Structure 1
Amino acid sequence: MQIEIRPYVERDAAQAAAVWNEVVEEGDAFPQTERLTAESGAAFFTSQSFTGVACDAESGQIVGVYILHPNNVGRCGHICNASYAVASDRRGQHIGEQLVCHCMKQAAALGFRVLQFNAVVCSNAAALALYRKLGFVQLGVIPGGFRRKDGSYEDIIPHYHVL
């Protein structure tokens, strides 16, 4: 399968929200608890510094999405943050890796100097392996920093990568 990553456009709202909502509903990776509708998704995705979508080149179906935005303001505004979602039936096909690599290039092109992840859940083995492979630096562990869907708490591991 050939994947194309391109900028989000408003006609992508429903498909991008559906991919995003899968991760939200699973309750083990994203801090968000509210599902996006096509309307709220359009507002959310267009409010980012950049939103990228991964499409199956043959069908045009959106199989992944990422958001990129400042992690802070003012004197720390050069540090960005991102989140990635891959459709559950497409995981394990290196789409996440393509999204992260695209995001890093896009972040640098937008003038960001560091990409920081605030809350990588410690049980997210695939993400942890990918970030290690791509040279991200782990900053430590925040005990119980993530509340899972079932109400239990899990450690999070912040990461960064100099762009």
Structure 2
Amino acid sequence: MPALMEDPSTRLPAPQTHTAAAPTLTPRQTTLPKAGDAGVTLYPITKGPSSLPQDLTAFLHSEFSAEIERGATYPMEQPMALDQFRDYWFGTFAVVAVLDEEGTAPGEGLREGRKWEDVCLGTFYIKPNYPGRCSHICNAGFMTTNAARGKGVGQVMGEAYLEFAPRLGYKYSVFNLVFANNPASIRIWEKLGFSVIGRVPKAARLANSEELVDALIFGRELGN
């Protein structure tokens, strides 16, 4: 059975706990210690891609397409069309992280017309990893934008994930494909309490390796 992250055409319905809790979630405010304690707000996206500015989804689509073309972190070989990306990333539940702006009221950071290449730091989604009686186990996909790399955004998004996922009713998290030659990602998940619960030898043909790369499966109980 395919997991969502590996098969963009598959969409599992969110469990009832997720559907009920999602509208109650509010933005999370924090700072980036590696960027002079710059303020950042992480906005839950609970009403699908149509609730986002079109220029923002277009920007994130271009960032994700570039990530796919680099061929080192996601299993897809070809970028998605914009409409497919919008549904794949924002169709269930997602979070977008943007820099705070002086004079902007809380909750207004996702307004139309912002210079997203400067202020959008990254995004992640949360989805069930399995259907039905196992739908309380979730997975997530993360993307940091080019402008945000090296500023600790991955850590901030990981911390937000550990807040939002249990509030959506999920009990356990599985990351299906963390490639073994991605030490930055591995460090973040280990620091946040994840551990390796499985390994798939020679799982991926990646652009940054002449050899087939193992995939690590990370897991963590949520809510503790």
| C-alpha contact 2:90 2:125 (8 A) present in aligned 1 | no
Partner of 2:219: 160
Partner of 2:206: 148
**How far did 1:152 drift?**
4.6
- How far does the alpha carbon of each residue in 1:124-152 deviate from its partner, in whole angstroms, 9 at most, with x for none? 10010111111101113211112213785
Asked whether 1:28 is paired with 2:72, we answer yes
CA distance in 1, matches of 2:181, 2:195: 17
TM-score, normalised with respect to structure 1:
0.89
Unaligned runs of 5+ in 1: none
Which of 160, 173, 194 is 1:115 aligned to? Answer: 173
Which of 184, 187, 192 is 1:134 aligned to? Answer: 192
SS of residue matched to 2:198: coil
Point out the structure with the larger strand share.
1
Which of 37, 41, 52 is 1:10 aligned to? Answer: 52
Unaligned runs of 5+ in 2: 1-37, 46-50, 102-114
Asked whether 1:96 is paired with 2:159, we answer no
| Deviation beyond 3 Å, 4+ runs, structure 1 | 149-152
| C-alpha contact 1:22 1:87 (8 A) present in aligned 2 | no
CA distance in 1, matches of 2:152, 2:70: 20
**How far did 1:37 drift?**
4.0
TM-score, normalised with respect to structure 2:
0.66
CA distance in 2, matches of 1:77, 1:83: 17
| C-alpha contact 1:104 1:115 (8 A) present in aligned 2 | no
Fraction of identical pairs, as percent: 25
- How far does the alpha carbon of each residue in 1:62-103 deviate from its partner, in whole angstroms, 9 at most, with x for none? 220111100011221111000101012321211111111111
* Count of residues paired in the alignment: 162
CA distance in 1, matches of 2:40, 2:68: 23
Asked whether 1:56 is paired with 2:115, we answer no
Q: For the pair shown, which has the larger CA radius of gyration, 1 or 2?
A: 2
| C-alpha contact 1:86 1:95 (8 A) present in aligned 2 | yes
| C-alpha contact 1:6 1:53 (8 A) present in aligned 2 | yes
